[in-house]
Structure 1
């Protein structure tokens, strides 16, 4: 049985290069220290309407936006409950796409998987072949497979699904939205969601989802749907009150307001460009010293999964870099823990800050 380990205040600060959580600006952290207020006060309406409408502006979408106190996992459940009556197609190519399929299984849906080797990307033609063979209520796909560093071609997949009007398209963009530009309205996406602790560079605790009009109408036609993450419940309450239907994590929403202003000032396009530059630098460094785990041409823009071709002790390297340089990156996921390691280059990082980490890895690993 796990025993209590007392939380103290004597931990050294570490710079985070994880696939999330990531670094948060000081003024964003400070925003959480404002005096508390009630979630049914006018001040809450001002706060929630601000972050919802600012998010729509940043993402450049006409879709509705829901922001809930939850992890992104909430929208795996709620989009499945809201949109899937019986059958769902989920291509799996890593730990998180497999988990998305498993969630739908647990919810009693008939899940048809297209299984890819870890490190390979989902192919739009495979989605088309399945849609030609069977009727599905929805296709669920991961845009950025955090476990393998693969960026799936969501735009092309969305264009395929859009040709099948009775099938809805759900996208998990948890580890990339805000750091990898996507035109949501252009590619038939009915719901796309993320968590704030990833490329949004905010504290953990909020989940964000956009909802198309068609997805909203689909839920209205169903006999059952998610209660907490129901599109109708969330969006109708917002239209009436400008608030959330249940008590939210107000301090984190205050942080969200501050950070979203920074993101709007930078612009989505410039934020995308900065993440491209970080990704290109990290890939070039990985090719020079190791190798890249993801399929060529499908590398993530926010997290690079590096193949351990040098046979270094990954766990020891991660630990030593943390102890000697106060920088934290990640070993490979699951069975890939020693075969690979991952560098998160998302949020407020720059090429300069990523270079500090790669220099530290070189020193510790003797490269």
Structure 2
């Protein structure tokens, strides 16, 4: 049985270079300290309509959008329940794409996998072949845009073009660890539902999940006999249209933080934010190739998380601990079966080249590179 470990609040601050949560601006943190108000007051309508419409503007989308108090995991469940009657095609290339498939199976759906070795990217031709040769038409294709466990960025745009040729097959995209730091044309890529969590590239506190929904996806849910209760498109979007609020009590302080951070994101702009993340990724990947190697397949590397192959056989856990102790910087070990074989650097949110170089200098010092 786990023993209680009292939270004291007396901890050193650490700069986060994790795949999430990531660094949060001080004014965004401070925005959560406002007096509480009711979630059915006019003030809540002002707050919620602001963050929804600002997010649509930032993402350059005219599609409907909902923001719920939840982790991104909520929309794994909700999109499956809302859009999948029976069968789902899921390409698996890491821990989180495999988990997406597992969630659908736990919900009673028939899941066909296209399995890739960890580190490999999903190939559009494989999706095309699977759709062409399937015995029945899939209700949806579900995939991870940015595989956090391996540092792979999958070619969602090309796959979306293929799925668009099957109008009764919906395209569901988990963009949890990249949306806001990796530009994607949502409508242009034929995406019916794409979702993220606020603690990643949005650089906000954890606790909110965002989902963009196409008109076709909304209409599909209306025709189903059952759908997600909490994350149902109709329930969320219709309540927003009528009231400008969420159907259930939200985490108001985090939404106040969201409002402040989204203003920063709009000021920077989606394309500029994409460029900044690309510059950080290119620097980190070049550094990794000088000292180690990259785990992700060439040509398919993430803009927000670099997974580095531990070719020097350093003690990953010890190095992380020493960097944390000496510099107050925290990066991440590898995930699952590749824990000691790799380590990961999150270069997302409010980081820039200068702050990423500070981390790599610290790793070089501690590891004696």
TM-score, scaled relative to structure 2: 0.99
Aligned residue for 2:101?
A: 101
Aligned residue for 1:359?
A: 361
- Superposition deviation, residue 133 in structure 1: 1.5
- Which of structure 1's runs of 4+ aligned residues deviate more than 4 A? none
Mapping for residues 60-75 of structure 1, pairs under 5 Å: 60-75=60-75
Q: What SS does the aligned partner of 2:281 have?
A: helix
Alignment RMSD (CA, Å): 0.3
Q: What SS does the aligned partner of 2:91 have?
A: strand
Aligned residue for 1:338?
A: 340
Q: What SS does the aligned partner of 1:117 have?
A: coil
Match of 2:325 among 323, 327, 331: 323
Mapping for residues 257-276 of structure 1, pairs under 5 Å: 257-276=259-278
Aligned residue for 2:296?
A: 294
Aligned residue for 1:250?
A: 252
User: How far apart, CA to CA, are the structure 1 residues paired with 2:4 and 2:28?
Assistant: 31
Indicate yes or no: 2:308 matched with 1:306: yes
TM-score, scaled relative to structure 1: 1.00
Q: What SS does the aligned partner of 1:186 have?
A: coil
Q: What SS does the aligned partner of 1:32 have?
A: helix
- Superposition deviation, residue 187 in structure 1: 1.1
The superposition leaves residues 33-58 of structure 1 with CA deviations (integer Å, 9 ceiling, x where unpaired) of 00000000000000000000000000
User: How far apart, CA to CA, are the structure 2 residues paired with 1:108 and 1:63?
Assistant: 29
Aligned residue for 2:6?
A: 6
The superposition leaves residues 295-334 of structure 1 with CA deviations (integer Å, 9 ceiling, x where unpaired) of 0000000000000000101110011101111000000001
Mapping for residues 1-367 of structure 1, pairs under 5 Å: 1-134=1-134, 135-367=137-369
The superposition leaves residues 172-231 of structure 1 with CA deviations (integer Å, 9 ceiling, x where unpaired) of 000000000000010110000000000000000000000000000000000000000000
The superposition leaves residues 145-187 of structure 1 with CA deviations (integer Å, 9 ceiling, x where unpaired) of 0000000000000010001001000000000000000000101
Q: What SS does the aligned partner of 1:139 have?
A: strand
User: How far apart, CA to CA, are the structure 1 residues paired with 2:131 and 2:216?
Assistant: 19
- Superposition deviation, residue 95 in structure 1: 0.1
User: How far apart, CA to CA, are the structure 1 residues paired with 2:321 and 2:199?
Assistant: 22
Number of matched residues? 367
- Superposition deviation, residue 349 in structure 1: 0.1
User: How far apart, CA to CA, are the structure 1 residues paired with 2:254 and 2:9?
Assistant: 21
User: How far apart, CA to CA, are the structure 1 residues paired with 2:10 and 2:31?
Assistant: 23
Task: Could you tell me which runs of 5 or more consecutive residues in structure 1 were left unpaired when the two chains were aligned.
Answer: none
